[in-house]
Amino acid sequence: MGFWVISLLTVVILLWALQDILLPFIAGFVLAYFLDPVADWLERRGLSRMLATSAILTVAVLAVVTVVLVVVPILSDQIIKLAQDLPALLQALIAKADQVAPQSLKELIANSGTDVRGSIGDIASRATGWIATLLTSIWSGGMALVNVISLLVVTPIVAFYLLLDWDKIVAKIDGWLPRDHAEEIRGIARNIDHALAGFIRGQGTVCLLLGLFYAIGLSLAGLKFGLAIGFGAGLLSFIPYVGALVGGVLAIGVGLVQFWPDLTMIAVVIGIFAVGQFIEGNILSPKLVGGSIGLHPVWLMFALFAFGYVFGFVGLLLAVPLAAAAGVIVRYVLGKYLKSKLYIGNGAPAANEPVKLEQRRRKSR
């Protein structure tokens, strides 16, 4: 226990001390982990590891460069304009609601003495300032010592060497395990890998595909800021329901202001998110993610806030992998506890016995 606690503290201290230069290395590790199954698949088809790694990284780099040169300028422009226009959009939405609201509701709000327009306008102004602050903090925290050019240069190099030697690295670490506990540690590592693969590879692919679907669908529908809203909804989909909820509310609100009284176009916007949720729930998630990956949405959001607060943008990248690993380890420790004498005591029923007794009572009734 002392060895593992000291190791954990050492890792946390190193992450905290080196957080300003870790971004390209963490990004390279995530990219290598994401693409390792593709390299293994190409190896099984007869390619050498070197050739498979070179082909994968070449395609990945070309895709990233294309996105940076074509999509990012448009996307960043839409995000900035959306943040600037948010107060005006909310005011216009209030005006539309005021036109269709029943007179009794208007009188009730007027008699309450609440300045709805002023309150929502103040909230919108605060939200705009918060978005600008968030983007500024991400930029300054994530790029304090490592600028965009170094990120684009160092990350592919790190990913290349990690992907090339991935199996050797795993075998080397396996050789360092204490022999008496090697099999048990391998079991924990397999469970962590299952959770990480389900989230980083599976859910990451789902988020990317959903972002593309929403962005293309909303752009074709002619929705203002459709590209930014669609990509944002897709990226936020790694937290269940959050992406669809935030993106849907934002898209429908903009659609009401832009298309009213054309109910057909508003229905198209709603239909895009409905179809997206159907595809995610019935096709993408079952195929790519599979069963439960063991990350509760509340635990996931807490991890994102906690790691982001402590480590900045690097913490946001580390939050999901470390949260998944922590969840596996906590379940392992809890399982040990429920089988231990500390929990069972002297002849007390085991953890599952009360459940069995209750099932017997129901059957007897």
CB count within 10 Å of CB 32 equals: 24
∠ at Cα 229 (311, 152), nearest 5°?
Answer: 45
Supply 143's token pair: 């790029």
CA distance linking residue 269 with residue 255, whole number of Å = 7
Separation CA 324–CA 332 (nearest Å): 13
Spatial CB neighbours of 269, under 8 Å, sequence gap ≥ 6: 218, 221, 223, 251, 252, 255, 259
- Amino acid 144: pLDDT: 46
Nearest Cα residue to 335 out of 174, 191, 199, 193? 191
Per-residue pLDDT tens over the stretch 198-209: 777 777 788 888
CA-CA distance, 24 to 27, in Å (whole number)? Answer: 5
The structure tokens listed for 354 are 């009360």
**What is the Cα–Cα distance from 228 to 78, expressed in whole angstroms?**
6
Structure tokens at 55: 């082909």
The model carries a pTM of 0.65
Cα distance between residue 2 and residue 182, in whole Å: 18
Residue in the block written with tokens 């007869």: 46
Interval 66-119: pLDDT, tens: 877 777 777 777 777 777 777 777 777 777 666 666 666 556 655 655 555 555
Spans of the chain, pLDDT less than 50 = 138-139, 141-146, 351, 357
Angle at the Cα of 83 from the Cα atoms of 82 and 87, rounded to 5 degrees: 95
